Chain A
Amino acid sequence: MRIGKSASAANTDGSRLGVPKTYKLYVGGAFPRSESGRTYAVRDAEGGFWANAALASRKDVRDAVVAARKGARAWAKATPYNRGQVVYRVAEMLDGRRSDFADLLVTGGADRDAALAEVDASIDRLVHHAGWTDKLASVLGSTNPVSAPYFSYSAPEPTGVVGVLAPTGSPLLGLVSVLAPVLATGNASVVVAAQPDACVAIAFAEVLATSDVPDGVVNVLTGSVAELAPVLAAHGDVDALDLTGAPAELRVELERAAADTVKRVFVPRTAPDWSAEPGLARLRAFLEIKTVWHPTGALSLSGGGGY
């Protein structure tokens, strides 16, 4: 197999033999190979060999869901301020690897300026979401003026484990735009990377792994979306699905599978425009509103309180 010129930065001038990276999965905070041992060749824009990526299996999906469930507990318990700091840290780490990611995007076919713009937009998107974590409850929640002697409030909580199919087209910005709202709302996720974008997705997982994101909060699988997505959609311990990146021919099947455990399914109503303001819809999609009632009674028993 011809080694594409992009396979390793060091081999282009022939001065030394490069060390091309094998892109593995990101599960539970570690970078394991697929339990199946399978890999597939990711191609660069010119059709040359770029790298080997792990071809994840159904078992890898199940392992990732187990890891995500563990991660979900830790992440939901983190304070909103802490979650915001961690998401901001992801932005910082991405900024630190700005030119690396631009190189990856160029290898994937973007021109240099567009690649840099995409990396910058991705950093900005993360910063935007870092600022959401400690505001969601005040924007989406309420105290409820109920007509009885109770203090009643409604507040958003993370849904739990979200299965995310990353979109194609903008390898980094698309991935960050679907992941950031899931992360900022306190959910854990199992992300199936877009098949051609495995290198960018796993490179971004390296950013996550060095950003104080607790193990298991984000898990990234690479491989065949058609093979992995149905397993994720049917998994009983997945609470919600983001089908933004679902291939059109799979969408009905995936939604049907999701119905078995009444999963929340997010499908954008129109083709997403990643350059637009992100808005609230993606945040709302992975939150549950919980209402709590607490008796207020009266200051003094002689007042005859409600409780």
Chain B
Amino acid sequence: MKTGELRVASDAQLVVAIGRFRHDALSEVYRRHAAAAFGLARRIVGDRALAEEIVQEVFLRLWNAPDRFDAGRGSLRTYLLTQTHGRSVDVVRAEAARRTREERDARMTSEAGYDLEREVWDLTQAEHVRDALEHLSDGERTAIELAYFGGHTYREVAVLLGEPEGTVKSRIRSGLGRLRDALVDRGMAGPWRES
């Protein structure tokens, strides 16, 4: 595959090219997905330098072990963002980041307009995502927000919201399911089946 063709190559083809040590293939993956990864990491860890380190680690992990990406189990974007999220949560839960997290939580609490919609407004299909989010109850939205963007465990979310742990677990699960269904209805996510 020539360099110029990488721009139109599928994510799966790019991963194959990365397997053949093509820097330009990794560069194209970065061009496509790094902004989302960086935005997510920065949001969770609340620190630009830490977010950069996480994104660098995630992309180097793809370079070093492209075979870990399984196209049968989801998109490359989802894979990279899952890696980014997991690493970000590790960082934010580490003792060294505790202080930053507490400061950031205080900031969040003081922002009246803090909600999921603000996080996705500039997504290309932001309107569809906003519509889908309206299918969630306030409890579901808040639980998902605190778990996903806040990096909290469901137990911590339960404490923060003063709700039973079982209720929070259920809200996260039902919220994700309803969100998924709504996005499928809007053509933003296809039915997914494991091969």
Whether both chains belong to one complex is answered with no
Residues of B within 8 A of A (CB): none
